[in-house]
Amino acid sequence: MLQGWIQIAVFCAITVACVPLLGGYMAKVFSGQRVFLTPVLRRPERLIHRLLRVDPERSQSWKGYAGSLVVFSALSWLALYVILRTQTLHPFNPGGFHSGTWDLSFNTASSFVTNTNWQFYGGETTLTDFSQMAGLAVQNFLSAAVGITVVIVLIRGIASRRSGAGADDGLGVFFVDLTRTLLYVLLPLSIVVGLALVSQGVLQTLGGSVDFHTLNGTASSLFRGPVASQEAIKVLGTNGGGFFNVNSAMPLENPNQLSNWIEMFSMLIIPASLPYTYGRMVGSRRQGWAIFSAMAILLVVSVAVVYVAESHGTPAQHLAGLTGGNMEGKEQRYGIANSSLFTALTTVMSCGAVNSALESLTGIGGLVPMANLSYSETVFGGVGAGLYTMLLYVLLAVFIGGLMVGRTPEYLGKKIEAREIKLVSLAVIFTPLIVLVFTALALSTKYGAPSIFNPGPQGFSETLYAYLSQANNNGSAWAGYTGYVQPTAGNLGASGISFADLMGGFAMLLGRFVPIVLVLAIAGTLVRKRVTPVGLGTLRTDTPTFVGMNVFVVVLIGALTFFPALLLGPVVQGLTDHLF
Amino acid sequence: MRKTLVSSVLALVFFTVLLGLAYPLAMTGVSQVLFPDRANGSQITLDGKVVGSSLLAQDFSGPRARQDFQPRPSATGYTPSATYFANQGPNQKATKAFYERQIARYLKREGPFNPGLTAAGIPIDAVTYSASGVDPLISKDNAEIQAVRVAQARGLPPARVRQLIEDHTSGRFLGLVGEAGVNVTELNLALDSEAR
């Protein structure tokens, strides 16, 4: 086990060392300063502005920004839905796949536009290469970029030093920010990571499947596709929708010990760097590190718990007389340490890529991903989404802390008043509400039953996890839960489970866009707030005490909301040797 | 509103062409030039015919089962073209029954060559489903137990088999990262070429 702890520590140290590099770079990019890519990209960027008919000088108010974002996302959704429903017309369809059913396509389109990447579909058995490249991978980029633009706007709102009634309420131009994010951050990183993954053995070809006979004469087929280009943005954009059904457990998607680290690092690096970017943009690196620390504490705790739990095996293993850790649903090349680390990372970060079967985790090991999801993406979270949700919790912590010590709640010189707290509360409570209501509906009606695979508390956990994951735009799954029945490959004779597909789809759309609009509204009220100078009465937000307060608020809200539900599933399984 | 709609449509078309076609096609081109073997699935060929991929386990049951190293159990029949998780829960009766069947199978196969082997002595990877169903690696302990049977069945000196295990171990990166394991597909292929 010691070796595993050393690996985890080294991995975290490497990441922390890289945070100022990427975080500083992004701060420059989003404040419009010169970076090393500027000479190459400045002209193409201007050309794109002209092509898209946007004026970079005409800054949008929060309403204008939100309008552009929502319209663009709605169109993206429509385009993806159409792509998924017209597969027979596609070029790059070596497998001859048919289109998905309407309900499955609704779920998948919602899944990718919301940066969730929940997989009811099986990539290699249902999707053409064209759907994967021009449909899913494009949304991997765009939804990630949308998340980043939202947090940049919130940061601008907090950092602005304009005030007064007549002050300019511009927060930036949506299409300009989107283009910047794609050109300067996501695309260059994807090219580097993609090529690194191919060098380790990840597929990148349009050649289609290769049929062969194995050494003992069995007929088999090697499924191939443009995997690495999609894999890179899948992890960098904390998307998580795998080219293959088993995602990053598939050797052709994650071939070896090193590629696994490349993927974990790529998942973590943008969400981990954004708090640093934030610190730079509001003019106080300490504020950035304070938020980073609160996130890091919760991540380290969850890695530790899941690793210890998985090292002890499951009741089914013990009762069968087996010894050793829980290797069920895990790959030998990652072992228990790297599977545990991956699991903790992917669930705090709202990535949803998996390199092991989450459903086969031990009871307590399975509690960790669920608890992570119940924090609503605050712990690093999805690219952009993580930091903006955490900032909501920071505002809440400022408010609660301010009231506790009898000071006017203010954050970085801006008073937090009734309107902000109403919006924050609404945003914070909205996603958990969807999760609990939808889970209750799925469990108390007969419509949820066809999706459940395992009996007993495991079946309860599958359902709860499905809505936790979809409403929080995570996308990892207790994969026994299904929304699609597929008798043969290629979508022939397939049928969707409409209830699960539709409920999941709506959970993802609501859980994504309602908080985004609320966050933009908060940015809109903050941008014009008068700045009060720091004084003796100011509650400091860059101290260890405040970090503790912040962690406490996150855990309190997450735990109090979901504790009863968690008791019924993973906690029961973790505390008993009883078999169901 | 109309202006937003126009910009949105243009943005979507432009970025679909850039990120959905130009980027993956360029990546494919570059990968095919720089890493042709790996980008195409690390295929293994024997006498000019593809027989598998060095990254994937394959089915070694059937007539050769006694003389081959056996990969980890697979819920999918070792297919690389329709993967899914086995989703066995930690507290399920069905899961325990599955382990009991796997243990009986393993003991029946390896027990005669490893006297004193019991359920508690079986490496855990040998009786649990892998995640992908095509995990090419098994643990070193698992390989060493199977080595006795393979050496006898193939009439090879045990030392030679142990050497081949060593040669086909995929180690930790830089001695630190990940977990080591023995590549069953490559190992069985090497044993075959030993016999020729």
Query: Residues A24-33: pLDDT tens digits?
Result: 999 999 999 9
**Which of A332, A339, A461, A465 best probes binding to B when mutated, by most B CB atoms within 10 angstroms?**
A332
> Whose structure tokens read 């924090």?
A375
Put simply, the answer to whether A244 touches B83 (Cβ < 8 Å) is: yes
Kindly report the average pLDDT of chain A as a whole number.
Answer: 93
CA B142 – CA B122 distance, rounded (Å): 7
Nearest chain A Cα distance for residue B123, angstroms: 7
Please write the tens of the pLDDT for every residue from A529-553: 888 887 777 888 999 999 999 999 9
What ipTM goes with this model? 0.96
Q: How far is CA A492 from CA A162, A246, A482, A487, in A?
A: 60, 21, 17, 8
As a residue count, chain B comes to 196
Put simply, the answer to whether A221 touches B137 (Cβ < 8 Å) is: no
Nearest chain B Cα distance for residue A53, angstroms: 6
Please write the tens of the pLDDT for every residue from A260-283: 999 999 999 999 999 999 999 999
Alpha-carbon Rg for chain A, nearest whole angstrom, is 23
Put simply, the answer to whether A332 touches B38 (Cβ < 8 Å) is: no
> Could you tell me if A61 lies within 8 Å of chain B, comparing CB atoms?
no
The residue-averaged pLDDT of A486-501 equals: 86
CA B76 – CA A221 distance, rounded (Å): 13
User: Which pLDDT score, from 0 to 100, does residue A94 have?
Assistant: 87
Q: Give SS3 for A357.
A: coil
Put simply, the answer to whether B81 touches A209 (Cβ < 8 Å) is: yes
In sequence order, the 6+-apart residues with CB closer than 8 A to the CB of B153 are B66, B67
| Residue from the list A72, A249, A479 with its beta carbon closest to the beta carbon of B8 | A72
User: Which pLDDT score, from 0 to 100, does residue A164 have?
Assistant: 60
Side-chain half-sphere exposure of A480, counting CA atoms within 13 A: 26
> Could you tell me if A239 lies within 8 Å of chain B, comparing CB atoms?
no
The residue-averaged pLDDT of B30-35 equals: 97
The residue-averaged pLDDT of B77-106 equals: 94
Residues in B closer than 8 angstroms to A7, CB to CB, are 176-178
* Bridge partners of residue A211, in order along the sequence: A221
CA B154 – CA A176 distance, rounded (Å): 67
Torsional class of B133: left (φ above 0), alpha (ψ -120 to 50), beta (otherwise): left
Task: Choose among A379, A278, A296: nearest CA to A24.
Answer: A278
Q: Using the predicted structure, report yes or no on whether residue A486 has a pLDDT greater than 90.
A: no
Nearest chain B Cα distance for residue A316, angstroms: 5
How does residue B196 score in pLDDT terms, banded at 50, 70 and 90?
Answer: low
Pairing of strands B137-138, B181-183: antiparallel
Task: Choose among A403, A384, A355: nearest CA to A512.
Answer: A384
Q: Using the predicted structure, report yes or no on whether residue A558 has a pLDDT greater than 90.
A: no
Pairing of strands B137-138, B49-53: unpaired
User: Which pLDDT score, from 0 to 100, does residue A89 have?
Assistant: 94
- Dihedral sign (CA A25, A27, A30, A34): negative
Q: Using the predicted structure, report yes or no on whether residue A162 has a pLDDT greater than 80.
A: no
In sequence order, the 6+-apart residues with CB closer than 8 A to the CB of A366 are A358, A359, A461, A478, A569, A570, A573, A574, B90
Search chain B and give the residue with CA nearest A342: B178
Nearest chain B Cα distance for residue A307, angstroms: 14
Q: Are A561 and A436 in contact (CB under 8 A)?
A: yes
> Could you tell me if B194 lies within 8 Å of chain A, comparing CB atoms?
no
Nearest chain B Cα distance for residue A283, angstroms: 33
Please write the tens of the pLDDT for every residue from A191-215: 999 999 999 999 999 988 999 999 9
The residue-averaged pLDDT of A288-299 equals: 96
